Amino acid sequence: MQINPAQAHPSGFVHDMDEAALRHAQQATAQQLGLNVHFSDSLRSDGSAGPEMAVIPAGWFEMGSPSHEPGHEPSEAPLHYVQLSRAFAIGRYTITAEEWQRFRAASGWSQVRELIQAQGREPVVNIRMADALLFIDWLNSETGQLYRLPSEAEWEYAARAGTDTPFHYGDYASCREVLFKPMFPFPEKTKKRRSFFAQCGSMMWAMEVGTKPANLWGLHDMHGNVWEMTASPWQPDYQQAPSDGHSLPGRGNNKRIVVKGGSWFDPATAARSAARRSRLRDELDVNLGFRLVREI
């Protein structure tokens, strides 16, 4: 049953928790599960570390954006309460080119040579959702754990880290915190677009992961850099959104998925926590990557 935002806040509502309480919830959850707050699983084939994950505590949050938020779109409404009934872990970073290379070497996966390819700690791009699922199957086999793509609600809950502002940094984010297209900064009265563009420069590619500051739960690049795939099928709004944040909508466009986070090629408004876009399941692009959830 979906909960109306007009009702009283449910217990465990993370927007009501201060930073100390949110950090304590994360630490206590990790301790209860016998994990470090940030951890990596070992790969069986060579003992190397898998993707670095962050423990995310269970709780409630309000998903979407109000109509007065700059950049708000109808697809981000109505605001609605969502429960994450169990803790989970999510990648501190998007999957990188060097992590992808280990999978590529082990599986023999090949890419069209003409496509632009990321390098090193840059987020892997120009891969389809089907390729990401092959990576997940390989990682599950290597670690003996259950990795998967996040639901849209899990992604937004983790990105917000207890905040209800457009960015986990607050009401405004500059190029110091977020990698977006400098010609289209987040609306702010005290800056002029031309001087802002001169200050930020012209970015023509994604940055290495972890370049920008992390949120309260230790997640980097939730705003900007590259769009991130989710497992959620696209819906035009939240009228039929489930209140269980781990579940996927029963009705949706199965040919399209929700992507979150914005990118180096998009305006700053696209990097807001609530912002969402539709992408084809078999689409690939130079500004589309993914990060993983791991069941705990």
Buried b (16+ CB within 10 A) or exposed e, 29-64: bbeeeeeebbbebebeeeeeebbbbbbbbbbbbbbb
Of the two residues 166 and 192, the one the predictor is more confident about is 166
What pLDDT, on the 0 to 100 scale, is given for residue 3?
36
Above 70 in pLDDT, residue 194?
no
Question: Mean pLDDT lowest for which of 51-60, 150-159, 199-208?
Answer: 199-208
- pLDDT, tens digit, for every residue of 34-80? 999 999 999 998 989 999 999 999 999 999 999 999 999 999 999 99
For the domain with range 14-295, which CATH number is right: 3.30.43.10, 3.90.1580.10, 3.30.1330.90, 3.20.20.70? Answer: 3.90.1580.10
Report the pLDDT averaged over residues 82-87: 96
SS (H, E, C) 54-78: EEECCEEEEECCCCCCCCCCHHHCC
With b for 16 or more beta-carbon neighbours within 10 A and e for fewer, the 158-189 pattern comes to: bbbbbbbebbbbeebbbbebbbbbbeebbeee
pLDDT of residue 8: 38
Q: Per-residue confidence at 1, pLDDT binned at 50, 70, 90?
A: very low
pLDDT of 65 reads 97
pLDDT on residue 16: 81
The rounded percent of the chain whose pLDDT value lies above 90 is 71
pLDDT tier at 165, thresholds 50, 70, 90: very high
Name the pLDDT band for 190 (thresholds 50, 70, 90): very low
What confidence score (pLDDT) does residue 182 get?
Answer: 77
Give Cα 282 to chain centroid, integer Å. 19
Query: Do 206 and 120 form a contact (C-beta atoms < 8 A)?
Result: no
Q: How confident is the model at residue 9 (pLDDT cuts 50, 70, 90)?
A: very low
Question: pTM of the entire structure?
Answer: 0.91
Check residues 243 and 252 and name the one with the higher pLDDT.
Answer: 243
